[in-house]
Amino acid sequence: MKDKITQLKDLITEMRYYGTAQGSLMWDLWTQMPSAGAAYRHNAIGFISGKSTELIQSDRTKELADYFMENDWRGHEDVIERGMIRNFLFTYDQTTKVPAELQVELTVLQAKAQNIWKEALQASDYEMFKPTLTEMFELQKKVADAIDPHEHPLQVLSATMEEGIDIHQIERLFAEMKTPIVNLLKRIQNSDKQITDELLNGEYAKEDLIDFVAYLSEAIGLSKENSAFGEVQHPFCSCMGPRDARIGMNYDNYKMAVWAGIHESGHALYSIHCNDQVADYGLWGGIGGSVHESQARFYENIIGRSRAFWQHFYPEVQKRFPKFQNVSLDEYYKAVNAVSPSLIRVSADELTYSLHPIIRFEVEKAMFDGKVTLDELPDLWNAKYQEYLGLTPPNAQKGVLQDVHWSMGLFGYFHSYTLGNLYDGQFHHALLKDVPDVYEHIEQGNFSSLNNWLTKNIHQYSAAYSPDELIQKVTGEELQVKYYIDYLEKKYQSLYQL
């Protein structure tokens, strides 16, 4: 088996090189490419993607896959090597079922659709995006059908992005968490306390936000040695190598910039804190889907909206933004955690956030169930927002067009944000058991006990464990709703004196 493992390591290294080339072409496309270069660039990306698919569909890959499917690797001693094989078979299984031509078609369409989506978003014109969205939706159905024609297409697509995901389990978890969140929201709305985030609004010089986000991300563990920032519409983090994270940012306003900055830094830390063996075996970049989102949202919310965090950083805020000089830490902390249902997922408060991906999950389910047409999509979207959050989007920009995901062909991904919150509640519970004084360290601006715990338990392994294995390993049980709800209850009871 040793020989085969070495062969597999070489193969995966090559696949990752293609991924890095694609990553570089995409990062550049998104952050700085001259517009006249776009058409050619899309074709170049399609070509490299095709080469990568050719490799995974080659005889060389098939022989290795066949070998490991026929030999018991699950008993193999080395955790990372075992993880590499598991991860490879997962990817192989998903990818080889999609014909190479379909994969190329998808990559070319992704690049095109993202540009059209950007224009449609700017124009707030759903009709402008609809033909391309239709194309993408049809193509994704074809992809699902090619992988498994007998399974629900949303299940198939979700499972390509996250190992072991089960849309029936998601339905169950979402049903279990929806009620307590809606109840908590009602109690907050009926409470005497009126907390708004108004004092965070207003004009900020973009340069100041750029500098502050760079300062925060460095304080929590990033540096120019392992990460770089660019500007995009919708913030994201992508990894171009084991020690090379790229963060696309939007500095339009304070809330967006600061918490997207912390969120994407969370993604980045997860990626670059893998151990050397993981890096060497091409397992870097973390587990896609819920676990990755959990690491981003852990930093963004559980840490980045905690009192301890701002106890340390608030003097710096006041220094950099004089408007806060007469605002107390307590007022600022409350504004940061104000609950106020809104239309835009990425600027939602921590409590109501989870409802946004739940809506999208239900919308996607309806799309793939054939219960809603692409023509009716905005109406369904708007109706659900009215039902869950009590708000109706005034236009497509603030409604169905707001997220980049569908233009990238990501159907079956949104739920991972809310699942990420569930992981976070459970990880947070485990963290406090292991490091009870972690918030005291954070108050001192010392992030090493937190980062050490995350690295030791989660980050260092990157994609070596499956999500199910990881949550079991770190917390001793499978994914639960209760820890996250407990965390929310405790936080908002104190904040709103419920």
Q: Which residues bind its own copies (CB under 8 A)?
A: 14, 16-17, 20-22, 24-25, 27-28, 32-37, 40-41, 43-44, 47-48, 51, 223-228, 230, 240-245, 272, 279
Exposure pattern of 65-81 as b/e (b: 16+ CB <10 Å)? bebbeeeebeebeeebb
CB 330 to its own copies: min, Å: 38
**Minimum CB distance to its own copies smaller for 358 or for 463:** 463
| Token digits of residue 2 | 């040793």
- CB-side neighbour CA atoms (13 Å) of 104: 13
Residues in the chain: 498
Opening angle at CA 446, ends 269 and 456, nearest 5: 45
CB 21 to its own copies: min, Å: 4
**Minimum CB distance to its own copies smaller for 26 or for 343:** 26
Q: CA dist 235 to 18, 238, 246, 263, 424, Å?
A: 23, 10, 10, 9, 21
| Token digits of residue 157 | 């697509």
Q: What are phi and psi of 65, to 5 degrees?
A: -60, -45
State the pairing for strand pair 244-249/236-241: antiparallel
Q: CA dist 285 to 70, 242, 362, 423, 424, Å?
A: 28, 7, 29, 18, 19
Q: Is the dihedral of CA 242, 18, 234, 389 positive or negative?
A: negative
CB 23 to its own copies: min, Å: 9
Q: Is the dihedral of CA 472, 474, 475, 476 positive or negative?
A: positive
DSSP letter (8 states) at residue 372: S
CB 27 to its own copies: min, Å: 7
CB 32 to its own copies: min, Å: 5
**Minimum CB distance to its own copies smaller for 244 or for 424:** 244
**Minimum CB distance to its own copies smaller for 49 or for 416:** 49
**Minimum CB distance to its own copies smaller for 47 or for 67:** 47
**Minimum CB distance to its own copies smaller for 136 or for 239:** 239
Q: Give the amino acid at 63.
A: E
CB 30 to its own copies: min, Å: 12
CB 287 to its own copies: min, Å: 20
- CB count within 10 Å of CB 202 equals 10
**Minimum CB distance to its own copies smaller for 51 or for 152:** 51
CB 19 to its own copies: min, Å: 9
Query: In sequence order, what are the residues at sequence separation of 6 or more whose Cβ sits closer than 8 angstroms to the Cβ of residue 56?
Result: 15, 91, 92, 95, 96
For residue 431, the Cα-to-chain-centroid distance in whole angstroms is 21
Q: Which residue from 269, 314, 273, 275 is spatially nearest to 295, judged by alpha carbons?
A: 269
DSSP letter (8 states) at residue 298: I
Verify whether residue 119 is a known catalytic residue. Answer: no
DSSP symbols for 204-229: --HHHHHHHHHHHHHHTT--TTTEEE
**Minimum CB distance to its own copies smaller for 198 or for 276:** 276
For residue 434, the Cα-to-chain-centroid distance in whole angstroms is 26
Q: CA dist 269 to 33, 286, 458, Å?
A: 27, 10, 11
Please identify which of the residues 81, 162, 163, 264 carries the catalytic annotation: 264
Q: Give the amino acid at 426.
A: Q
CB 4 to its own copies: min, Å: 21
Cβ(339)–Cβ(470) below 8 Å = no
Q: What are phi and psi of 254, to 5 degrees?
A: -60, -50
**Minimum CB distance to its own copies smaller for 104 or for 185:** 104
Catalytic residues: 264
